[in-house]
Each structure stands twice: as C-alpha cells, then as structure tokens.
Structure 1
Amino acid sequence: MQFYKKVDHEGLFIEDIKIELIPIDEEGNSDPQYIAEPVPPGLFWPKWNGTEWVEGGEASEPQPVIPSEVEVLRAQVRASDDRADFLEECLVEMAQLVYK
C-alpha cells in the first residue's frame, strides 16, 4: 500500500488516498488523478501542474462582519450601563471627599 494524492480534472488536490496500485485506463496509461509526490508545506490550495505542486488558489479576503441591529442596540445598552456605573462611582468618591 502506498499513499497518493488524488486530484480533480484541473489538478487541484482532493484527498489523500492509500491504494496498492494506481488505476490504469483502457490504453494502459496510469490514471493522472493519482500523484505519488508529496505536497510541499505552505501551499494554501495545492494544484498539480503535471510536473510539480503549485499554488492553485488564493486565500479568500476576510469579509467585514456587519453587526445586526439587535447587536448594535445591545452594545449601546451595555455602553450606557457602563457609563452610568462610572458616574455612580464618581459620585460616591466625591461624596466621600466632601463628607470626611
């Protein structure tokens, strides 16, 4: 048994597969979907170009997270509560200074 990399018709890596022999087509050629050469580390989307592994894709750009209206309102309520707590603490400190 040997490990092979299975690729699609465009050469993009699909999965690791463990088989004894590479399947052979009607003409006696080995199936080009099975690659014995290991994928070098660091490739985001490995692609077999016929002779070597190359980068077959690009990392998707992170999409900005747009908060829902409910999330925005919750954040505003939390901020308002925090501000009220801060002002209350300030009043307590001021009262302690005045009424020493």
Structure 2
Amino acid sequence: MSKRPAFPGMGGMNMQQMMKQAKKLQEQMAKEQENITTQEFTGKAADDMVVATFTGDRTLKSLFIKPEAIDPDDPDMLEDLVIDAVNKGLKQIDQATQQSLGKYTKGLM
C-alpha cells in the first residue's frame, strides 16, 4: 500500500510544512501592508481646485483648497469638490492595496 499524503490536494505537504508556508505568507503580507502605509496617495478634483493627500493607512494628511474654489454663494460646489478629491484618494489606496495584497487573497473570496 502506498502512503497517502497527510492532506489530499496539498501535494503531500505535512502540517509542519503548511505552518511554515502560512507564516512566510503572513510575514510577506505584513511587509507589503507596511509598505502601503508608508506611501502617500493624492486625490484631486476639478483642475486641482481641491487636493486631498492620504497616508496608506487612510489618514488624511493634508487638504488643499484653492481660494477660487471658495464661493460663499455656492458652498455645495466646494463640498462636492472635497468629496470628489477625498474619494479619489481613498480609491487609490484601495487599488494599491488590492494590487499588492490581492495575490495572497485571490480565490479565497
């Protein structure tokens, strides 16, 4: 009789090997996540009228508003510009995170 692998479908990998592999992947993911948190991401709205800069951990680092974007008669326009810039910055973080960490979670969801 041939000896069957400890975990079918795992290429004969035993539990200790699986744990080592899992730890290695966890360390790689943590390193890549740390790399993302040290980066800056910028969202811009309407010809840079509003610029929102975030760190990779989604902390708003700066919010620049050009004086000409401030119209006392149209505060809704400024609100829309701020929302647009913030959402674009956050989307950049999401895309970078997916690109960097997606290879580890591919097929898990």
Higher strand share: 1
Q: Do these two structures clear the TM 0.5 threshold for a shared fold by scoring above it?
A: no
TM-score normalised by length of structure 1: 0.30
Between 1 and 2, higher relative CO (CA 8 Å, sep ≥ 6) is seen in 2
Give 1 or 2 for the bigger CA radius of gyration: 1
Higher helix share: 2
TM-score normalised by length of structure 2: 0.28
